[in-house]
Amino acid sequence: MDAIELLEHDHRMVEQLFRDYPAAASDTQRRGVVEVLIRELSEHAALEELMVYPLARKVLPDGDRLIDRHLAEHGGVKRSLLALDRLGRDDHDDTDRLRDRLQGRPKT
């Protein structure tokens, strides 16, 4: 599997995790989904930052601006992942709040 295939696979896996979260039968299973989501998104971001973004900076028109924007978005996702990781097993975020945290929307 090359890097692009791996990144596409990661996207599909994360989409599946978002579907798995509300379908989980218990709080323990939901927390398990969150833990896998944190790991997968962290690995995905690292792969993009180490392998894709340096090349994209060089070959894309306006690559520096585009990649800087993506890195800023990654910073927001990383902060959200940290917040999710800090939630205890007894914290009950519903699916919308989980997605909101990952997309950088304010908590309600």
User: Is 54 part of any domain?
Assistant: yes
pLDDT value for 30: 85
User: Is 91 part of any domain?
Assistant: yes
Residue 30 host element (H or E): helix 27-47
User: CA dist 49 to 38, 40, 71, Å?
Assistant: 16, 14, 8
- Structure letter (DSSP) for residue 95: H
User: Is 60 part of any domain?
Assistant: yes
pLDDT value for 88: 63
pLDDT tens digits, 38-68:
898 888 888 889 988 999 999 999 999 999 9
Q: Taking 50 as the threshold, does the pLDDT of residue 73 lie above it?
A: yes
* The two three-digit tokens of residue 76, written as one number: 């927001």
Using pLDDT thresholds of 50, 70 and 90, give the confidence band for residue 72.
very high
User: Is 12 part of any domain?
Assistant: yes
* The two three-digit tokens of residue 104, written as one number: 């950088």
| Mean pLDDT of all residues in 83-102 | 63
Question: What's the total number of domains in the chain?
Answer: 1
* The two three-digit tokens of residue 8, written as one number: 């596409």
Q: What is the pTM of this model?
A: 0.74
User: Is 95 part of any domain?
Assistant: yes
**Dist. CA 89–CA 78, nearest whole Å:** 20
Q: Provide, rounded to the nearest whole percent, the portion of the chain with pLDDT above 90.
A: 22
User: Is 108 part of any domain?
Assistant: no
CA 76 to chain centre: 10
| Mean pLDDT of all residues in 19-43 | 87
User: CA dist 94 to 49, 69, 88, Å?
Assistant: 30, 29, 14
Q: Taking 80 as the threshold, does the pLDDT of residue 76 lie above it?
A: yes
Give the domain range for residue 88. Answer: 3-103
User: Is 36 part of any domain?
Assistant: yes
Q: Taking 80 as the threshold, does the pLDDT of residue 11 lie above it?
A: yes
